[in-house]
Structure 1
Amino acid sequence: MTTVAIIGAHGKIGRRLVRLLAQRGDKAIGVVRRTEQVGAIAELGGTGVLLDVESATVEELAEALTGADAVVFTAGAGAGSGPVRKRTVDYGGAVLAQAAASLAGVHRFVQVSGMGVDDPVDPGTGDWAAYVRAKSEADSRLRASELRWTILRPGALTDAPGSGRVRLAESTGPGSVSRDDVAALIAACLNEPASAGHQWEVRAGSTPVAQAVTEQSRTTGAAS
């Protein structure tokens, strides 16, 4: 049994991942920021831990991560949250999680980012500009770390039922992808040690998720 700590476990991808891990017999530790969310994680088969990454210290978060085999960061400030929270959650939370994982001795780290954040089309100002800057810089910090990282950059996220098939590559071109399939992709990356050191975009496609991870892990060079 693998123990996976998920930061942002009550989000739309996080909840799907908790359920998926529980169904396959792994232990999911869901780090959540509200008391009522602890119970929601338990209903999905995980163990909720109450901790807010916007106010926690690195030592507090490291304590919550101790004993895990991997950390998944899929937290986000969300739509309408404003530029300040994009910075404190999407960037600050990710950097805090990276440092806490290192402190806790958890070397495997999967981070959910966004397609095109390094070269956005007309980022403008306001929420969108803050979002792409936060995600891009958080990814850069992770790539520079000593963690065994994987960065996933999905296209437009949908709540459509997952197909179990994706297009996964360093660059896929624009497209959408189901949150079900992103959760399955995270789980597949956790199963494939060779996925460490890679950054991929993902959108809906025709390749089974696990096969896509295996093929890309073997055929593409590690991201730098």
Structure 2
Amino acid sequence: MNMNILVAGATGKTGLHLVQELVDQGHKPTALVRESSDTSALPQGVDLRKGDLTNLQDGVCDGMDAVIFAAGSGGSTGPEMTDKVDRDGAKRLIDLAADAGVKRFVMLSSVGADQSDPTGEMAHYLKAKHEADEHLKASGMTYFILRPVALNNDGRSVRVTLGDEVDISAQASRADVAHVLAEAAMSGSLDGMVHLMQSAGRSLQHV
């Protein structure tokens, strides 16, 4: 069954892999984009829906079967924008998805977001992600939360590891992350789960 899937963060490094994956699988991705977003790299077949995560309006999730949050404020922004996008924007999108009767919400989170009171230089970001994850769990929607380790651009890998066997000092490719997010949204095979993730083995492009 072809699905209507809203993607927040579609123009980002992971998001571009994600929307291409959804198009390749025959689904209908809709990119949630700001007025200022550069959409030139999005593949053909992707619809656009205007929406700013710092000020989401009612109706942005209407007509969607699933929503994937793959957005982020970016490493160069400060704590205020982290709160507006990674915490409050995510929570608002979750609420709007629930109101619209969306069947499934898939969250791109982060390793370390399981902690309610993290420490270290990433503490503020991880706390924001933790609060968004907890809000999703309490939303009543079917959900999947993915918490990858540090991201790279190595392309698809031979093997992806999910769960307790993940080495938190390892890395995960954005292409692999996008593949898992798409699979979670499309199939429901990961419903109700929260998984760490790493890429393992050689990149497919080198095999």
**Aligned mate of 1:162, from 144, 156, 164:** 156
Q: 3-state SS of the aligned residue for 1:37?
A: coil
Q: 3-state SS of the aligned residue for 1:65?
A: coil
**Aligned mate of 2:100, from 96, 104, 112:** 104
Report Cα offsets for 1:178-207 as digits up to 9, x if no partner: 00000111111123324111000000136x
* Map of 2:10 onto structure 1: 9
Distance 1:32 1:164, change over 3 A: farther
* Map of 2:194 onto structure 1: 199
* Map of 2:178 onto structure 1: 183
Mapping for residues 31-180 of structure 1, pairs under 5 Å: 31-41=32-42, 43-57=43-57, 59=58, 63-119=59-115, 123-124=119-120, 128-170=122-164, 172-174=166-168, 175-180=170-175
Shift of 1:123: 2.8
Deviates more, 1:184-193 or 1:32-41: 32-41
Q: Which whole-Å CA distance do the structure 2 matches of 1:172 and 1:120 have between them?
A: 20
Specify the code of the residue in structure 2 equivalent to 1:168: L
Q: 3-state SS of the aligned residue for 1:14?
A: helix
- The answer to whether the 8 A contact 1:15-1:44 is kept is no
Shift of 1:129: 2.0
Q: 3-state SS of the aligned residue for 2:38?
A: helix
Q: 3-state SS of the aligned residue for 2:63?
A: coil
Q: Which whole-Å CA distance do the structure 2 matches of 1:129 and 1:36 have between them?
A: 28
Shift of 1:107: 2.4
Specify the code of the residue in structure 2 equivalent to 1:138: A
- What is the root-mean-square deviation in Å for CA atoms of aligned residues? 2.0
Q: Which whole-Å CA distance do the structure 2 matches of 1:106 and 1:120 have between them?
A: 27
Shift of 1:147: 0.6
- The answer to whether the 8 A contact 2:31-2:49 is kept is yes
Specify the code of the residue in structure 1 equivalent to 2:113: V
Q: Which whole-Å CA distance do the structure 2 matches of 1:45 and 1:27 have between them?
A: 7
Specify the code of the residue in structure 2 equivalent to 1:78: G
Shift of 1:64: 2.4
Q: Sequence identity of aligned pairs in percent?
A: 34
Q: 3-state SS of the aligned residue for 1:161?
A: coil
- The answer to whether the 8 A contact 1:169-1:202 is kept is yes
Give the number of the structure with larger relative contact order, counting CA–CA contacts within 8 Å between residues 6 or more apart. Answer: 2
Shift of 1:36: 4.6
Report Cα offsets for 1:143-192 as digits up to 9, x if no partner: 11101000000000001111152001146231101000001111111233
Matched residues, number: 199
Report Cα offsets for 1:38-73 as digits up to 9, x if no partner: 4543x453112221010223x1xxx22211110000
Shift of 1:103: 1.1
